[in-house]
């Protein structure tokens, strides 16, 4: 059959949805097929179109490539389709077990298939293997490159269609490549109904991905940039290439970040590859990653290590070129802004007793922040991580440690830090009751000792820091065991809270070590 389409093949072409589309059955997709098999396939397609399906014509894919699905996913004409793109794979097995000659497996193109699990789900003891193209041509009259579940209509007694459990909703719309320049879009329910009308055996909701198993068959994950194929080799997670800013797969929390710096109340946005790498090493729930393709390889190890450690699926990844990334986020896709992660927020504790490190008798290091903004909170959390601080206590008016800015400045260390928010005087009194030595930093107070004069520090200590140039309140100072100042050669020189906090934390760490040695 040539590529003139269904109207030339059948005079009773439908007039319903999709009737204006040209359904071409390409000669490369069909090989010496008998007229009866052609008409059975065409009739199945007509029924799907009459049930609300549509046929989308687009620029042809390369029908001689080894992986025609890769070419299909890169077709620009299909970027606006907010449907699940699926592929149909051919498998054969022991005929007495199968009761048919071939299995047609329908899965999302990003799904990994474990053949032993699929065989077990179907009750097969002899297993399955990939079917050869010559079997597909002989039995169904078509090429495996353009195989669809409707191909089973050509031999209903010899083929069984299996639908993945990843397609559980009968109203879900799916897209399937049926010819080099044609994609059929329809609902799962209408597809199943037509197959059963044509007396094809259909089995829905079959699960076949084994937890932790090495997949025997890998459904392709296709980057737009072919140079990324080595980076994605054997990667078991979901990867989607975003080609337009309107792609419905992209989470709304990534959009217009310039005007929505805090994100939504329950979901956070983490920015920069370094911060995301630290985030993946923690225990926060990560929903999705959006990043430039060139950064995927640098984060792949962290993604796989996280999934292995937590015993869960890999975090879904969206790959996006810089220009589209800027349209989505609203900010320039420079290096720090070329990677985003959506994270579930955790509530900040208001009680010191909820921090395990506060247990009596154990070594503990605490940083108390009084009245500093988000950027400075992030900077101090990074310093705190360097010196092994166990908890950071925040005043009520301090910035949100999980804001996008704070997370970026901290390089993700806010996600490895235990936070407690409350009244600083009350928190200090509670620290002292837990036998924690509290050390406050004053600014240019003549009556204060200098930090250099500190001879020793116990194993349980806390540093208290407020805005540079503004002394801690009298109430806060009264709650500290000791108030000191950092000696400066030029007293009027502004060195910043981050530098001063590092000096304090380093001095206390040194004096604690010295006390242990003596």
By the 8 A CB rule, do 401 and 419 touch?
Answer: yes
Query: Is 433 exposed, middle or buried, given 0-12, 13-18 or 19+ CB atoms closer than 10 A?
Result: exposed
Sequence-distant (≥ 6) Cβ neighbours of residue 336 within 8 angstroms? 271, 272, 408
**Cα–Cα distances in Å, from 297 out to 17, 109, 227, 260, 320?**
44, 21, 11, 29, 14
Residues of the chain scoring pLDDT < 50: 1-33, 65-66, 210-227, 261-264
Q: Which residue has 């359904």 as its token pair?
A: 23
Q: What is the dihedral of CA 190, 192, 195, 197, to 10 degrees?
A: -70
Residue 468: partners with Cβ closer than 8 Å, 6 or more residues away: 443, 494, 495, 496, 497, 500
CB atoms within 10 A of CB 203: 13
Class for the domain spanning 228-344 = alpha beta
Q: Are strands 217-218 and 112-113 parallel, antiparallel or unpaired?
A: antiparallel
The CA distance from 436 to 138, in Å, is 80
Q: Would you state the structure tokens that stand for residue 83, as one six-digit string?
A: 């449907």
* Angstrom distance (rounded) from CA 323 to CA 243: 10
Question: Distance of CA 159 to CAs 43, 58, 131, 190, 192, Å?
Answer: 17, 29, 12, 19, 14
Residue extents of the structural domains in the chain? 89-143+159-219, 228-344, 352-517
CA pair distance 397, 470, nearest whole angstrom: 15
B/e letters for 315-325, b = 16+ CB within 10 Å, e = fewer, are bbbbbbbeebb
Distance CA 332, CA 28 (A): 45
Q: How many CA atoms lie within 13 A of 159 on its CB side?
A: 30
Backbone angles phi, psi at 123, to 5 degrees: 75, 30
What is the pLDDT, as a whole number, of residue 161?
Answer: 92
Cα–Cα distance between 215 and 107 in angstroms, integer? 14
**pTM, rounded to two decimals:** 0.56
20: burial class by Cβ within 10 Å (0-12, 13-18, 19+)? Answer: exposed
Contact in structure between 499 and 481 (CB atoms under 8 Å): no
Say how many Å lie between the first and final Cα of the chain, rounded.
Answer: 92
The highest-level CATH class for domain 352-517 is alpha beta
Beta bridge partners of 408: none
Number of helices (H), then strands (E), belonging to the chain: the values are: 16, 22
Q: What is the pLDDT of residue 386?
A: 93
DSSP three-state, residue 287: strand
Q: Are 455 and 510 in contact (CB under 8 A)?
A: no
Structural tokens at position 438: 């509290």
What is the Cα–Cα distance from 223 to 239, expressed in whole angstroms? Answer: 8
Same fold, 228-344 and 352-517: no
Report the alpha-carbon angle 259-264-270, nearest 5.
80
DSSP code string of 341-401: EEEE--PPBS-GGG-GGGSTTS-EEEEEE-S--HHHHHHHHHHHHHTT--EEEE-TTSPPT
Alpha helices of 93-238 — where are they, by DSSP H? 95-98, 115-121, 133-140, 188-197, 229-232
Find out whether 155 and 104 touch, Cβ atoms under 8 Å.
Answer: no
Contact 3, 25 (CB under 8 A): yes
Extract the tokens encoding 245. Answer: 């800013």
Written as six digits, the tokens of 68 are: 């025609």
Q: What is the Cα–Cα distance from 251 to 315, expressed in whole angstroms?
A: 13
Q: What burial class does residue 35 get, using C-beta atoms within 10 Å of its C-beta: 0-12 exposed, 13-18 middle, 19+ buried?
A: exposed
Tracing tokens 């070329």 back to the chain, one arrives at 338
Tokens representing 180 are: 């080099």
> Radius of gyration over alpha carbons of the chain, in Å?
31
Residue 333: Cβ within 10 Å count: 20
């Amino acid at each position: 059959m040539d590529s003139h389409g269904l109207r030339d093949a059948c005079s009773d072409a439908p007039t319903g949805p999709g009737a204006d589309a040209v359904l071409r059955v390409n000669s490369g997709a069909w090989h010496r097929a008998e007229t009866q098999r052609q008409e059975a396939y065409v009739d199945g397609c007509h029924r799907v179109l009459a049930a609300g399906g549509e046929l989308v014509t687009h620029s042809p894919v390369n029908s001689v490539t080894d992986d025609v699905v890769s070419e299909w996913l890169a077709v620009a004409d299909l970027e606006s389709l907010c449907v699940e793109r699926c592929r149909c794979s051919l498998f054969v097995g022991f005929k007495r077990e199968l009761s048919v000659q071939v299995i047609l497996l329908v899965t999302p193109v990003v799904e990994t298939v474990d053949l032993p699990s699929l065989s077990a789900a179907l009750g097969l003891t002899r297993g399955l293997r990939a079917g050869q193209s010559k079997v597909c041509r002989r039995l169904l009259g078509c090429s495996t490159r353009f195989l669809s579940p409707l191909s089973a209509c050509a031999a209903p007694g010899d083929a069984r269609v299996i639908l993945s459990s990843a397609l559980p909703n009968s109203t879900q719309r799916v897209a399937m490549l049926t010819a080099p320049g044609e994609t059929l879009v329809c609902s799962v329910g209408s597809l199943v109904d037509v197959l059963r009308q044509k007396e094809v055996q259909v089995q829905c909701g079959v699960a076949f991905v084994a937890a932790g198993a090495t997949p025997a068959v890998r459904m392709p994950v296709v980057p737009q940039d072919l140079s990324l194929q080595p980076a994605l080799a054997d990667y078991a997670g979901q990867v989607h290439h975003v080609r337009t800013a309107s792609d419905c797969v992209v989470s709304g929390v990534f959009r217009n970040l310039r005007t929505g710096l805090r994100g939504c109340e329950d979901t956070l946005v983490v920015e920069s590859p370094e911060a995301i790498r630290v985030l993946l090493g923690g225990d926060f729930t990560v929903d999705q990653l959006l990043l430039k393709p060139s950064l995927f390889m640098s984060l792949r190890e962290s993604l796989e290590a996280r999934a292995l450690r937590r015993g869960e699926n890999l975090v879904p990844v969206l790959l996006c070129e810089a220009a589209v990334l800027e349209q989505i986020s609203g900010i320039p896709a420079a290096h720090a802004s070329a990677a985003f992660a959506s994270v579930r927020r955790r509530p900040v504790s208001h009680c010191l007793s909820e921090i395990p490190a506060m247990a009596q008798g154990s070594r503990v290091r605490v940083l108390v922040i009084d009245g500093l903004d988000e950027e400075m909170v992030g900077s101090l959390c990074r310093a705190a991580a360097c010196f092994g601080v166990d908890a950071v206590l925040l005043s009520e008016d301090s910035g949100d440690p999980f804001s996008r800015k704070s997370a970026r400045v901290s390089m993700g260390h806010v996600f490895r830090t235990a936070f407690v928010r409350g009244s600083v005087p009350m928190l200090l009194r509670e620290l002292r009751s837990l036998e924690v030595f509290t050390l406050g930093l004053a600014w240019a107070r003549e009556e204060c000792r200098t930090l250099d004069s500190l001879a020793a520090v116990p194993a349980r200590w806390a540093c208290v820091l407020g805005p540079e140039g503004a002394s801690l309140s009298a109430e806060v100072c009264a709650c500290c065991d000791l108030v000191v100042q950092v000696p400066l050669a030029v007293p009027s020189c502004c060195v910043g809270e981050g530098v001063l906090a590092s000096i304090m934390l380093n001095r206390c760490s040194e004096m604690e070590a010295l006390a242990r040695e003596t």
